[in-house]
Structure 1
Amino acid sequence: MDEELTKETPDTNDVDHLDDWLVHHIAAAGSAESVVPLLEGKIREGAIRPGTRLPTIRALSEQSGVSFRNIRDALAVLRGKGLVETRRRGGTVVADPLAGPRPAPAAEPAGTEAVPAAQTGELAHASSDPELLPDLTEALATGLRSPNLHSNVRQYITDRLRTVAQRDWPFAAEAYIAGGSGAEAALLCVGTLAGPSGKLAVDVPINPGLLDHIRRLGLDVFQVPADAHGADPAALARALEQGARTYLFQPTGPYAMTPPATAERMDELAGVVARFDDVVVVEDDAVGPLAHVPGPTFGTVLPGQAVRVRSFCRSYGSDLRTSVIGGPREAVDRIRDSRSYGLAVNSRILQDALAHLIESSTTARTLKRARSVYAKRKAALADALERRGIPSVSGPNAQFLWVEVSSEVDTLIDLATAGYSVGAGSRSFVEPPATGHLRIATLRLPDDSAAIDRIADAIGRAMHGQMRDLYA
């Protein structure tokens, strides 16, 4: 936003001046996306003080020329952040940003009440439940006993981690290295291997943050959608024919709406890749040990064209920040050399700690329990939605539920108004589908059935616009 528009400070003791200031800046901003950061900054820095009553949405719209909907959407986002609150008969007032979000007010008429913000309102990100992660004490102690601790010799993967990783690697890799977090390692691989063409095929739906970073690399991205049998061979063929030389494949599908590819579909996909001997498949196994169903691989039939990234962050905790990359030596060496010019290596302590966790029978029991709890949480919300006539879909290893909605933006804003943050489904696609979707993270859903029902009720109300008129 232009500096001229943000340097002024409104006098909240002077109602007319505040109204004029808001109208001027909202008119210049012109959209909910621009209004939100402006007002949020002024509220958080105290320029607009708690308790200050804002003009009505209708008044701001008429005086600024900005649509009623854009102003309503901006205030809904601020309300979801706990920065403004709507008081019955008291209008919209600035809340204390240090006090956190307050429950939404009971609404009139009966039957359209807003749902109070739940403690588990963050449903956009598939972060692990700390209660279901293994204790790292013994693992880190093992890492501290690494035989080469403090050595100045770079060790791109420790002997112990390589040995452990090889035991259940789905194909015979020629070389292994340790990488950073799973998403970081996948990005490193595709950034290195995309080659001069600068073109990449990706499975969708995909991690939206990863997709954003891929685009920042300047790569030309083609999407490969999936059906009930797996990724679409025709879409993959079109991408490769148009010059894509790397295919980001998701064998375990953390964002998938459908099951992993069948053996027959894998044969078809491998046949497509085999037509292009310079294409490399990067298998992003982001689910890792949490998978309920094993992920397929290209490495058994195309060993020279498949690099696999196995992530352990969601299984063992993000602080380990260690993944394993394995595949053809030439490709793995290129990836290694691209990581800070070959200078970057993961801590031996973290590598051997990870190896200890992979081998530990105690950790295996912890993972078994985590898989069970996560599956029950996802099923509980799916069942609650189904009872309300709301269908949802999710792959067996997926850590999200997908719900189709007629208006993605409106539904997201209305859920934010009720205190729930969910993902915009369109952000997981290169080419957004014609129909909008909610992407609801399930790993940290509450185990309380009443809380699950509140979430399902909020989704139902938001889908049908029943919250939309509460704050007009």
Structure 2
Amino acid sequence: MDNNHANETPYAADAERLDDDWLVHQIAAAGSAESVVPLLERKIREGVIQPGTRLPTIRTLSERSGVSFRNIHDALAVLRGKGLVETRRRGGTVVADPLAVRPVAAAEPAGTDAPATGPAELAHASSDPELLPDLADALAAGLNSPGLHSNVRQYITDRLQTVAQRDWPFSAEAFIAGGSGAEAALLCVGTLAAPGGKLAIDVPINPGLLDHIRRLGLEVFQVPADAHGADPAALASALERGARVYLFQPTGPYAMTPPATAARIRELADVIAGFDDVTVVEDDAVGPLANEAGPTFGTVLPGQAVRVRSYCRSYGSDLRTSVIGGPREAVERIRDNRSYGLAVNSRILQDALAHLIESPTTARTLKRARSVYAKRKAALAEALTRRGITTHSGPNAQFLWVEVNSEVDTLIDLATAGYSVGAGSRSFVEPPPGGYLRIATLRLPDDSEAIDRIADAVGRAMHGQMRDLYA
């Protein structure tokens, strides 16, 4: 614990039992769900309340703090929706790791607003298992990799490099295989920005990735986008303040707007060209699942772009293999910084991925997945539009964004109705006024009635109507 929290000792050394008096005092001082949520969120993120800490029951907290049972229930529901606490059978409510990316348990359904069918967990863009390719043939192909069991490190297999190069958007001097897409992107910016460095990032962004970037101690400046792409003035401001790495999202899984146009890329490149030693890390998180190809700086700024291509959402997270390509010096630094240059991906997984990239059967599976995902997102967007609710989403984005007057209030009301959605403010360095709901769309139900129930719940939550239902 740092010195700022030297006098705050709410938990035992084993982080399993919370000092009830301390927490009761904090909640009593807050007095409402709207105040309890930011208080507890801050304490959890700062490490004052550690992962694994078991919280007292809602009834205990209510009786001892004087705050209503409903207010405490609603506050914990929002924290659950943000992935900060989880409820375990027989284990009560436990503080989760705020930097871990994990599915969030939905709130207990309440009354007639609970979804009868379909998922209540709408915070995370996890792929639908029914739309992922069969891995059996791919893994069998991986078992035939040349040099299997060799002790010689192979940072990328010949087969994977060959197939990745075929549609790489620029001429890269070197390639390596990385872990999952987010892990590889974090490795790249952590290496190239260096400890204590400064980083410009596109927003909105994966909130878990943003949390990890902050954990590295990097100073972060956000670069918002308009209909043409990232804002050149915001990027220039970040570079003027010392940022020398720009985390660019070419396919934009969290984007509210379309990918950057060719004209905007040239404009951004002109901004970058005015500063020395700037590297662009292109985080192609959508990969082959993209509906529109993402732009690149690799052709307009030769030698200054490193691209990370993820395949997790396309082929499944168990492959945990991405491809990193770019200038030799930068790629070698990234390679050497991955567990001191000792870490390599399994040849089996690398060549299994290569098999999937080349497979016509997998290509058909991907085509179907794109179609189904697009229909699911469009169905909810249309249902919300019919209710007068405007949504924002880029063509490759896997979320719908809804602007709200009070993010906390709306999250509380949706959680009370049994729906866990993302807190949009977490995807920004500088949270916008009011806030946003971030609704994951990949695993939305295909049932139009279930979609209507979700849209109805969002509409009521936005207008505070659930507070009357559950008062």
* Bucket of the pairwise TM-score, normalised by the shorter protein: 0.7 to 0.9
| 1:254/1:286 contact within 8 Å kept | yes
The answer to whether the Cα contact below 8 Å between 1:224 and 1:232 also exists between their aligned partners in 2 is yes
Alignment-derived partner of residue 328 in structure 1: 327
Matches within 5 A, 1:165-176: 165-176=164-175
Note closer, same or farther for the CA distance 1:3–1:433 as it changes in structure 2 (3 Å cut).
Answer: closer
Match of 2:247 in 1: 248
Note if contact 2:106-2:418 (Cα within 8 Å) is conserved in structure 1: no
Contact 1:157–1:178 (CA under 8 A) maintained in structure 2: yes
Normalising by structure 1, we get a TM-score of 0.84
Which structure has the greater CA radius of gyration? 1
Structure 1 residues 25 and 212: CA distance shift in structure 2, 3 A: closer
Using a 3 Å threshold, how does the CA distance of structure 1 residues 275 and 129 change in structure 2: closer, same or farther? same
Q: Does 1:105 align with 2:111?
A: yes
Matches within 5 A, 1:126-145: 126-145=125-144
Which of 32, 39, 50 aligns to 2:36? It is 32
TM-score normalised to structure 2 length: 0.84
Q: CA deviation at 1:35?
A: 7.2
Inter-partner Cα distance in structure 2 for 1:133 and 1:249: 27
The whole-number CA distance in structure 2 between the counterparts of 1:415 and 1:224 is 30
Matched-pair contact (CA < 8 Å) for 2:306–2:326: yes
Q: Distance in 1 between matches of 2:232 and 2:19?
A: 58
CA RMSD of the aligned region, Å? 3.3
Q: Is the 8 A contact 1:270 1:302 kept in 2?
A: yes
Instruction: Tell me how far apart the structure 1 counterparts of residues 250 and 298 of structure 2 sit (CA, whole Å).
Output: 12
Give the aligned partner of residue 432 of structure 2.
433
Tell me how far 1:229 sits from its aligned partner. Answer: 0.4
CA distance in 2, matches of 1:366, 1:284: 24
Amino acid at match of 2:370: R
Distance 1:337 1:385, change over 3 A: same
Distance between the aligned counterparts of 1:398 and 1:338, measured in 2? 31
| Partner of residue 10, structure 2 | 2
Q: Which string of whole-angstrom CA distances, capped at 9 and with x for unpartnered residues, describes residues 364-413 of structure 1?
A: 00000000000000000000000111110100000000001111011011
Matched residue, 2:228: 229
User: Structure 1 residues 374, 79: closer, same or farther in 2, change over 3 A?
Assistant: closer
Corresponding letter in the other structure for 1:64: S
- Confirm whether residue 210 of structure 1 aligns to residue 209 of structure 2: yes
SS at 2:333's partner residue?
helix
Within a 5 Å distance, the mapping from 1:70-469 to structure 2 comes to 71=72, 73-74=74-75, 76-77=77-78, 103-106=109-112, 114-116=113-115, 118-195=117-194, 198-469=197-468
Residues 196 and 2 from structure 1, CA distance in 2 versus in 1: closer, same or farther, beyond 3 angstroms? closer
Structure 2 match to 1:89: none
Q: Between the two proteins, what is the percent identity of the paired residues?
A: 79
| C-alpha distance 139-55 of structure 1, shift in aligned 2 (>3 A) | closer
1:32 alignment partner AA: V
Contact 2:161 2:175 in 1 (8 A): yes
Amino acid at match of 2:307: R
Give the Cα–Cα distance (whole angstroms) in 2 for the partners of residues 105 and 439 of structure 1.
24
Q: 1:271 to 1:7 in 2, by over 3 A?
A: closer
* AA at the equivalent of 2:36: A
Q: Are the counterparts in 2 of residues 179 and 185 from structure 1 also a CA contact under 8 Å?
A: yes
Amino acid in structure 2 at the alignment position of 1:275 = G
Deviations 1:193-251 (A, max 9, x none): 01466000000000000000000000000000000000001111111111101000000
- Any idea what SS the aligned residue of 2:391 has? coil
Tell me how far apart the structure 2 counterparts of residues 443 and 41 of structure 1 sit (CA, whole Å).
Answer: 30
Query: Distance in 2 between the 1:169 and 1:244 partners?
Result: 26
Please state whether the residue corresponding to 1:304 is helix, strand or coil.
Answer: coil
CA distance, structure 2, for counterparts of residue 426 and residue 64 of structure 1: 29
Amino acid of the structure 2 residue aligned with 1:74 = A
Aligned pair count reads: 435
Alignment gaps of 5+ in structure 1: 11-19, 85-93, 107-113
> For the Cα contact (< 8 Å) 2:252–2:396, is it kept in 1?
yes
Distance (whole Å) between structure 1 residues aligned to residue 315 and residue 164 of structure 2: 15
- Unmatched tracts of structure 2, length 5 or more: 1-8, 94-104
CA distance 1:329–1:118, shift in 2 (3 Å):
same
* Contact residue 82 and residue 101 of structure 1 kept, 8 A: no
Q: 2: CA distance between counterparts of 1:289 and 1:335?
A: 23
Give the letter aligned to residue 185 of structure 1.
Answer: A
